Structure 1
Amino acid sequence: MSKTEPYTPQGVIPACLMPFDADFKVNEAAYRAHLQDLLSVKGITGIAINGHAAEVHALTIEEQHRAVVVTKEELQDKVATVTGIHTDSSLEAGKLAAYARKEGADCLLVFPPNFMTLGGHMRPEMITQHLQRITDACDLPIILFQFPIPSNLSYPLSTLISLCERFPQIRAIKDMIGDGNQHEQQIRELKALDNPVKTITTHSAWLIGSLALGAEGILSGAGSVIADLQVALFRAMQANDLAAASAINDRIYPTVRAFYDAPLLDMHNRMKEALVILGKMNEAHVRPPLMKPTPSEIEKIGRMMADAGLTASNVYRNAP
């Protein structure tokens, strides 16, 4: 990846997991190995860290800092390091952004402050101030995370457009709005801006439909397991080869059932279990209050991996 120009967020960006030991300490050796596994997938444009998949809600600021350093050591400039900015404090968000910039990150993934669930959508000046603190501290391109409507953290379309116009560092949104109608409207209106903004989908349960509506990339925790299949699907859709895309989607579907059935908050716990089953992680520990899946669910995950044709010998290399 060239460092002469700012990174353009697009294409397939797997969101990596964060391995822990049995005592819940970060397992740095396992994290480095996980990054190298993802880096081996041809066609990805970046790797997202310090996001939901990495259990960022349970990481200390020091652990988030260390993740940036370790990730850059492993990825170097081969693909982009996309660093999550996840905090309820706008002041801390600016510090996290500045640190990411100093340590060589290529892009920021900005989460809405959780406190805004109490009605922040009615006070757009709150997220404006949050982003102002970040952009004052750091000039990296931004992927703005658009949350699902039921979360009460999504931005009304008028606010989303206003933010993209006010902050030209926003080069893409990670869209999880969960509503096909608004998803398509956002894609179209963001593309129509004087400074167009890309939509990167994280609708991992319906990727083929989202890409058909015009999404220009995938940023997904499922990429921690099936990045190669996501690359193959994205390329087929870009080539307007619906037959190939449909065949790839048939292979992805069992992993959707493995990861994204209710309750949704267990999705990344399930991905860790899948990587243990596939021989890519030795252990699957999650920090409380997240809990390990039940034995019956782990058995189901194993069956779904088999139905998807994923094995220890072909994981990360299972795409056509």
Structure 2
Amino acid sequence: MAIPFRPTGTIPAALLPFTADFAIDEAAFRAHLRDLASTPGVTAITVNGHASEVASCTFDEQARVMALSAEAVGGTTPLVAGVYTESTLEARRIARMSEREGASALLVFPPALFVLGQRDEMVIGHFKQIADASPLPIVLFQYPLARGEGYRLELLSKLCDQVPSIVAIKDWCADPQLHEHHIRTLQGRARPVNVLSTHSAWLYCSLALGCKGLLSGAGSVIAGLHAELLDAFQQDDLARARAVNDRIYPLASVFYSAPWVDMHNRMKEALVMLGKLPRSVVRPPLMPLGDHEKQRIRAALLASGLLR
């Protein structure tokens, strides 16, 4: 039975290592998961998300990722499984598979179709179908409204009313004012829905507003620093929070620089430099990084104190 999920704390999104011929490197993935799970402050691990290049993975590969994750750390650490698809019917299939393979919660991505517009009943129906397929707690992935895939705060409130299995949102609204509205409104409900920040480019500011946790791809590299920063805010220790953020800032500035499509590519390269991954292979259309990018990553690791 999967470990119960609590929507709080530091939840890194795992990377997915590949061999030179683009197959899943199962040994490297297990080692990566165990490294994350052993980090103090980590409360769960997300798999089959952006950080694990889910867009390039088949359904069978996603099922294998879930099985490997459960084998490696499922006995000690809750697993949050991404539900990434255009289709509500496929989302139901992924939800059932994830539950069967040992997930403790689901991270539901918005269908990209919503960039063309969305009706409230369409969005609510999508989540109700997923909740009907699996009783697992749901973390709703909130995108920026400007992209078209984000949900208005009024709609978020409706979703939380009508789909009780929604226990948190992964907030990537990219708007500090709206982010604070999310925190105050959703966490202030009679049945609170926690806000997990994924504003990793400005995490210090985000956590200062009162998020209950964070869910971030950068946690694949700096989960320990993320946990320290969250703890500092929870202890109202602003001086310590500033000191930790000074270490996070160099890496966040490199990871989340243009083009953003390379963010997880850069994180893989950082783990190779730290001796935690054997190679930094990414699947096309992503491409290997050039020497200049690698130099920037190395300089950031040095500045953060992670590489000596």
TM range (shorter): over 0.9
Give the superposition deviation at 1:103: 1.9
Pick the aligned partner of 2:157 from 146, 156, 161. 161
Q: Report the equivalent of 2:81.
A: 83
Pick the aligned partner of 1:255 from 251, 259, 269. 251
Give the superposition deviation at 1:135: 0.6
Instruction: Give the Cα separation in 1 of the matches to 2:98 and 2:36.
Output: 20
Name whichever of 74-83 and 244-253 sits farther off.
74-83
Q: Report the equivalent of 2:39.
A: 41
Question: For the Cα contact (< 8 Å) 2:2–2:103, is it kept in 1?
Answer: no
Q: Which runs of 5+ in 1 are unaligned?
A: 313-320
Instruction: Give the Cα separation in 2 of the matches to 1:124 and 1:136.
Output: 18
Give the superposition deviation at 1:68: 0.7
TM-score by length of structure 1 reads 0.94
RMSD, aligned CA: 1.3
Instruction: Give the Cα separation in 2 of the matches to 1:225 and 1:9.
Output: 21
Question: For the Cα contact (< 8 Å) 2:13–2:217, is it kept in 1?
Answer: yes
Question: For the Cα contact (< 8 Å) 2:139–2:168, is it kept in 1?
Answer: yes
- 1:244 matched to 2:271: no
**Residues 174-185 of structure 1: pairs in structure 2 closer than 5 A:** 174-185=170-181
**Residues 37-116 of structure 1: pairs in structure 2 closer than 5 A:** 37-116=35-114
Give the superposition deviation at 1:43: 1.4
Q: Which runs of 5+ in 2 are unaligned?
A: none
- The 1:159/1:140 distance shift into structure 2, 3 A limit, reads same
- 1:286 matched to 2:282: yes
What amino acid sits opposite 1:104 in the alignment? Answer: G
- 1:229 matched to 2:232: no
Instruction: Give the Cα separation in 1 of the matches to 2:2 and 2:289.
Output: 41
What amino acid sits opposite 1:211 in the alignment? Answer: L
Name whichever of 200-209 and 125-134 sits farther off.
125-134
Give the superposition deviation at 1:302: 0.6
Pick the aligned partner of 2:210 from 209, 214, 218. 214
Give the superposition deviation at 1:118: 1.1
Instruction: Give the Cα separation in 1 of the matches to 2:215 and 2:45.
Output: 9
Instruction: Give the Cα separation in 1 of the matches to 2:108 and 2:191.
Output: 19
Q: Report the equivalent of 2:145.
A: 149
Give the superposition deviation at 1:2: 8.7
CA offset digits 1:126-150 (Å, max 9, x no partner): 2212111111110011100001233
Instruction: Give the Cα separation in 2 of the matches to 1:233 and 1:195.
Output: 27
What amino acid sits opposite 1:171 in the alignment? Answer: V
CA offset digits 1:253-294 (Å, max 9, x no partner): 011122001111110000001011111111101111111222
CA offset digits 1:68-88 (Å, max 9, x no partner): 111011112311100000000
CA offset digits 1:2-41 (Å, max 9, x no partner): 94xx422110000000011121111111111111111120
Q: Report the equivalent of 1:119.
A: 117
- 1:276 matched to 2:276: no
- 1:19 matched to 2:17: yes
Q: Report the equivalent of 2:293.
A: 297
Give the superposition deviation at 1:243: 0.2
What amino acid sits opposite 2:138 in the alignment? Answer: I
Instruction: Give the Cα separation in 1 of the matches to 2:186 and 2:107.
Output: 17
What amino acid sits opposite 1:124 in the alignment? Answer: D
- 1:265 matched to 2:261: yes
In the alignment of these two chains, the number of paired residues is 308
Moved over 4 A (4+): none
Please give the secondary structure, in 2, of the residue aligned with 1:199. Answer: strand
- 1:307 matched to 2:303: yes
Question: For the Cα contact (< 8 Å) 2:2–2:78, is it kept in 1?
Answer: no
CA offset digits 1:187-212 (Å, max 9, x no partner): 11102222110000000011111111
Please give the secondary structure, in 2, of the residue aligned with 1:291. Answer: coil
